[in-house]
Chains A and B, each alone.
Chain A
């Protein structure tokens, strides 16, 4: 370890010798015979001087002159100066101390005393430096968060006038820092700090750990608009190519006995409410925000109980395959069945959970539930998989890989049946750590889905660097594209093509319209999740949907038209092939069944149907046996299978095979039928 260095400034060689001798066992010693030489040594930077022993009467530059200049230099302000002089008069002592000497030792001195005093001053100086590390923010030079809270609490205690708190936030600061570099980020912070220094004459201010700033000042002393304008101006002078948006959250201190952190949090909440606005500049903490805080408190207070009492319910939103028309998997989504507030959705409680870290507890619960479901015979037999969400904070709070591996082992599952959805937010913080965990997970056989692709700033970059198996595009991001839907569509199309090229499967979620389905289908994206097919449903309802084919085009009339044109093409073909076919299959056609189950409107049928059943193609026959037909139709519709109905036509048995096509807009149903007369 480097020895501490002491500088002795005295014109008397013998004094220097004596002092050197006294100090040499503990310290490195450097000597100067007058003030000027001392400065030469100090400014050379060759030594890191921890303390000075200074004589007062010296030629060229005496001790007083030296002190004056020395103390005027802020770079030397933390170095203690011990004056050792033969002039032991009071005037000399007072003068020296006034000029900034830390201590005064008259000559003749005692070596022991000199040593001890030097040691004390060096130690004191070291402690003060350490304290400064904690109290001064190294980037801006203003108070750190810790110091701000200490100082502002004192200020509050001593100040007679009423005070207010500002929380100043910089919009998208971490993005700016990532895009433009740390230096630019620091420039912005220093700019704001400097404006605070200039403009806050009375009060305390500091930089907060989250890159925000806090100010505690008297209410009348400065208008927030003035401060805002000064900052706005200052920031624009930086000449960055990106506009910086700052926001102020303001809280008036009414109860000086309250905890400063709690009060600043209120100012922060106010700022949060306008954080993303490009128009709003300030927000005052008020009833609305207080209510939101109360709401958050309530959630916070009841979340552990909710977990213990299993108030969290997992719902499943099916992902349909457009080729097979059946659900192949589902996303597990959590809802909270709150005893007082009723059903709550993730947007209501996730923010609080993330802030408090509780999200990991909840995610583990959901993962376990998902595994339980996957381990049931129903899921195993139907080869169904589930996807679960991993929140970004999970990676920093728990051993995600360990936990998931333990679960799949416990429930004896194949890792690939539990797909893992990771949102872009998770990638941007500590990407290397995330990458390591993801590789481990994939090594164990898990498949990874990148959720909300395209919603953040660096999706493409992430795609390049992280091992992904699936990509999820949320169609909601590509709707209402500020008037340029075509461009939006182009982008979706490109994403899907790109994914195909790099062999990543795309799942489209948030699909709500038929148009979107058709569009995605045409691009080759066959996995669809969205309200168009099904909202997230409870387990029971989900199991009912398995195996049940849905029809892709839900608008009744369009569906019917499609089916009809298909059938009509089929049996309106002329030529031998048709008659052979007709002979083989007998009568067939399409009928519409009225909602009451009694009216059979045969829309179209082949010639044999007409021959066998009359011009109405079987209508009369069906209506005569409408109970049996109704039952059959019901079965065909609910089970999506071919259903046979036996009818009697004037004593002659007729076998009708029904197939459900679609339901129409007016709640009637379309069926196709084949009939044989025996």
Chain B
């Protein structure tokens, strides 16, 4: 397995499950990861939250949740689940902490993806 995938696995992603889930070999899985890391929904989520546009935020989070789930990027997925449910239920209490958690996991993910070496 490539170093990238090893690192993701160390981070907490269930890489084997992810590949199996989408019927992918390492190459395709990696390709998907690379596409995902530039997913515009990350930006959309940020902007929506800043603007307190919770509907748009929900849509973006929801989409991100789906893909991360499919790729079995568990840490990111879990954080997105929490946020999505809150937004769906229009429960805006402690929203900030949920958003921060998502941001943190997102950063972690991107760091691994962009790591060269």
Contact B88 A89 (CB under 8 A): yes
| Cα(A167)–Cα(B39), bound, Å | 67
Contact B22 A18 (CB under 8 A): yes
* Distance between B33 CB and nearest chain A CB, rounded to angstroms: 9
Q: Known: A15-B66, A57-B63, A107-B66. Contact between A21 and B88, CB under 8 A?
A: no
Contact pattern, A 108-119, Cβ under 8 Å of B = 1, otherwise 0: 111110010000
Is the CB of A28 closer than 8 A to any CB of chain B? no
Contact pattern, B 27-39, Cβ under 8 Å of A = 1, otherwise 0: 0100110011001
Is the CB of B70 closer than 8 A to any CB of chain A? yes
Is the CB of B105 closer than 8 A to any CB of chain A? no
Contact A21 B24 (CB under 8 A): yes
Q: Known: A14-B36, A111-B21. Contact between A57 and B70, CB under 8 A?
A: no
Contact B35 A14 (CB under 8 A): yes
From the candidates A14, A85, A111, name the one contacting B23 in the complex (CB within 8 A): A111
Within 8 A of B (CB), among A53-79: 57
Is the CB of A86 closer than 8 A to any CB of chain B? yes
Cβ-closest chain B residue relative to A59: B59
Cβ-closest chain B residue relative to A113: B21
Contact B70 A108 (CB under 8 A): yes
Within 8 A of A (CB), among B35-69: 35-36, 39, 41, 59, 62-63, 65-67, 69
* Distance between B26 CB and nearest chain A CB, rounded to angstroms: 13
* Distance between A29 CB and nearest chain B CB, rounded to angstroms: 13
Contact A110 B67 (CB under 8 A): no
| Cα(A112)–Cα(B22), bound, Å | 8
Contact pattern, A 1-30, Cβ under 8 Å of B = 1, otherwise 0: 000000000011111011001100000000
Is the CB of A368 closer than 8 A to any CB of chain B? no
| Cα(A12)–Cα(B21), bound, Å | 17
From the candidates A17, A18, A86, A89, name the one contacting B63 in the complex (CB within 8 A): A86
Contact pattern, A 402-426, Cβ under 8 Å of B = 1, otherwise 0: 0000000000000000000000000
Q: Known: A86-B66, A110-B21. Contact between A57 and B59, CB under 8 A?
A: yes
| Cα(A447)–Cα(B20), bound, Å | 80
Q: A87 — which chain B residues lie within 8 A by C-beta? A: 62
From the candidates B31, B70, B77, name the one contacting A109 in the complex (CB within 8 A): B70
Cβ-closest chain A residue relative to B35: A14
Count the A-B residue pairs with Cβ separation under 8 angstroms: how many? 60
Cβ-closest chain A residue relative to B17: A110
| Cα(A13)–Cα(B24), bound, Å | 16
Q: Known: A21-B28, A108-B69. Contact between A57 and B22, CB under 8 A?
A: no
Q: B21 — which chain A residues lie within 8 A by C-beta? A: 108-111
- Interface size class on chain B is 20 to 34
Q: Known: A21-B22, A86-B65, A111-B23. Contact between A14 and B59, CB under 8 A?
A: no
Q: A13 — which chain B residues lie within 8 A by C-beta? A: 35
Main secondary structure of the interface of B (DSSP, over half): helix
| Cα(A621)–Cα(B39), bound, Å | 140
* Distance between B75 CB and nearest chain A CB, rounded to angstroms: 14
Q: B67 — which chain A residues lie within 8 A by C-beta? A: 12, 14-15
Q: A107 — which chain B residues lie within 8 A by C-beta? A: 65-66, 69-70
Q: B69 — which chain A residues lie within 8 A by C-beta? A: 86, 107-108
Q: B59 — which chain A residues lie within 8 A by C-beta? A: 57
From the candidates B70, B72, B84, name the one contacting A15 in the complex (CB within 8 A): B70
Contact A17 B70 (CB under 8 A): no
Contact B35 A17 (CB under 8 A): yes
Contact B62 A21 (CB under 8 A): no
| Cα(A112)–Cα(B13), bound, Å | 20
* Distance between B24 CB and nearest chain A CB, rounded to angstroms: 6
Q: B63 — which chain A residues lie within 8 A by C-beta? A: 11-12, 57, 86
Contact A22 B65 (CB under 8 A): no
Q: A115 — which chain B residues lie within 8 A by C-beta? A: 23
Within 8 A of B (CB), among A367-419: none
Q: B72 — which chain A residues lie within 8 A by C-beta? A: 108
Contact A112 B66 (CB under 8 A): no
| Cα(A110)–Cα(B31), bound, Å | 18
| Cα(A18)–Cα(B69), bound, Å | 12
Within 8 A of A (CB), among B56-113: 59, 62-63, 65-67, 69-70, 72, 77, 84, 88
Cβ-closest chain B residue relative to A23: B23
Contact A17 B32 (CB under 8 A): yes
| Cα(A535)–Cα(B65), bound, Å | 99
From the candidates B39, B70, B84, B88, name the one contacting A18 in the complex (CB within 8 A): B70
Q: Known: A14-B39, A17-B35. Contact between A86 and B62, CB under 8 A?
A: yes
Cβ-closest chain B residue relative to A22: B23
| Cα(A14)–Cα(B68), bound, Å | 10
Q: B24 — which chain A residues lie within 8 A by C-beta? A: 18, 21
Q: B28 — which chain A residues lie within 8 A by C-beta? A: 21
| Cα(A112)–Cα(B63), bound, Å | 21
Which 3 pairs between the two chains have the least Cβ-Cβ distance?
Answer: A108-B69, A86-B66, A111-B23
Can you sample 23 A-B contacts with CB below 8 Å? A12-B63, A12-B67, A14-B32, A14-B35, A14-B39, A17-B31, A18-B24, A18-B70, A21-B28, A22-B22, A57-B59, A57-B63, A86-B62, A86-B63, A86-B69, A87-B62, A89-B88, A107-B65, A107-B69, A107-B70, A108-B66, A109-B21, A109-B70
